[in-house]
C-alpha cells in the first residue's frame, strides 16, 4: 500500500486532487453520519430531525473547511497533508441515555467509520490492480480507479488518525473526556475553545506531523495487509 501511495504522489499535482475528490467527500460524509447514527441509537434523534442522517455529501459540506482549505493543502503539499472539517452533526448531549458514557461511543463512531472506509477503498485498489494484471488491454483505464482507491485509503486513514488526537473538539478529545475520571475529564474539556488554535500551532511547528506519522503509517500498513497490498 505504501508503494501505491508513492505512485499516487508522483503524479502531476492536479491528478491527486482529481482522484481525491470523491473519496474525500465520502470520507467526511461517512464520518459525520456515523456520529448521528450512533447518537440516534443511544437516544438522541437531533441529527435525524435536522436531515443530517443522509449520505448526500452536500448536506455535510462546509465551504471553507471541506473545499477551500483541503484543496489549498493538497496543492501546496502535493496531497501529503490534508486538514479540514465538515459541518458537525449536531448531538444533544442531554438526550443520550447515559451522556458521559454514550458520548464516547458517539465520538468514536467517526474514526471507526473512516477505518472501515479505508478498507473499502483499499479493496477497490486491490481489485483494480488484479483486473489490470489479468486483462492488460484495459490496464490504462483501470489506473484512475486504482489511484482513487489509494487516495481513499490515504484520506480516510489520515482523517481517522487526526481525529483520534486526544484534544477537544476532536473525537479523540471527546473520547478522552468521557473515559477520564470526572475532574480530569472536566479539565481536558476546558481546552475545547482553544483546540483549533492549538492544532494550528502544532501544524506550523511540525509537531502535528511527528504525532500523526507513526499511527498513520501503522494504519496504512494494516489496511494494506487486510486487502493484500502489503
- Return the active site residues: 32
What is the maximum alpha-carbon separation in the chain? 64
CA distance 208 to 192: 17
- DSSP-assigned states of every residue in 87-154: PPPP--GGGSSSHHHHHHHHHHHHHHHHHHHHHHHHHHHHHHHHHHHH-GGGHHHHHHHHHHHHHHHH
Q: Describe the chain by its helix, strand, coil percentages, rounded to 5.
A: 75, 0, 25
CA distance 123 to 3: 15
CA distances from 96 to 40, 46, 89, 91, 210 (A): 8, 11, 15, 9, 36
Look up residue 59 and give its three cell numbers.
Answer: 448536506
Amino acid at each position: 500500500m505504501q508503494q501505491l501511495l508513492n505512485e499516487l504522489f508522483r503524479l502531476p499535482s492536479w491528478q491527486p486532487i482529481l482522484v481525491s475528490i470523491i473519496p474525500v467527500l465520502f470520507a467526511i460524509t461517512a464520518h459525520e453520519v456515523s456520529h448521528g447514527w450512533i447518537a440516534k441509537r443511544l437516544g438522541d434523534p437531533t441529527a435525524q430531525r435536522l436531515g443530517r442522517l443522509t449520505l448526500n455529501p452536500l448536506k455535510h459540506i462546509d465551504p471553507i473547511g471541506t473545499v477551500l482549505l483541503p484543496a489549498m493543502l493538497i496543492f501546496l503539499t502535493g496531497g501529503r497533508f490534508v486538514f479540514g472539517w465538515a459541518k458537525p452533526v449536531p448531538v444533544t448531549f442531554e438526550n443520550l441515555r447515559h451522556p458521559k458514557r454514550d458520548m464516547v461511543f458517539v465520538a468514536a463512531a467517526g474514526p471507526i467509520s473512516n477505518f472501515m472506509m479505508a478498507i473499502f477503498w483499499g479493496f477497490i485498489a486491490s481489485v483494480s490492480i488484479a483486473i489490470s494484471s489479468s486483462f492488460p488491454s484495459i490496464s490504462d483505464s483501470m489506473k484512475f480507479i486504482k489511484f482513487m482507491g489509494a487516495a481513499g485509503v490515504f484520506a480516510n486513514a489520515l482523517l481517522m488518525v487526526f481525529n483520534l488526537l486526544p484534544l477537544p473538539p476532536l473525537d479523540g478529545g471527546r473520547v478522552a473526556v468521557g473515559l477520564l475520571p470526572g475532574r480530569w475529564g472536566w479539565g481536558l474539556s476546558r481546552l475545547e475553545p482553544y483546540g483549533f488554535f492549538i492544532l494550528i500551532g502544532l501544524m506550523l511547528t511540525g509537531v502535528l506531523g511527528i504525532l500523526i506519522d507513526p499511527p498513520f503509517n501503522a494504519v496504512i500498513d494494516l489496511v494494506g495487509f487486510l486487502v493484500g497490498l502489503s
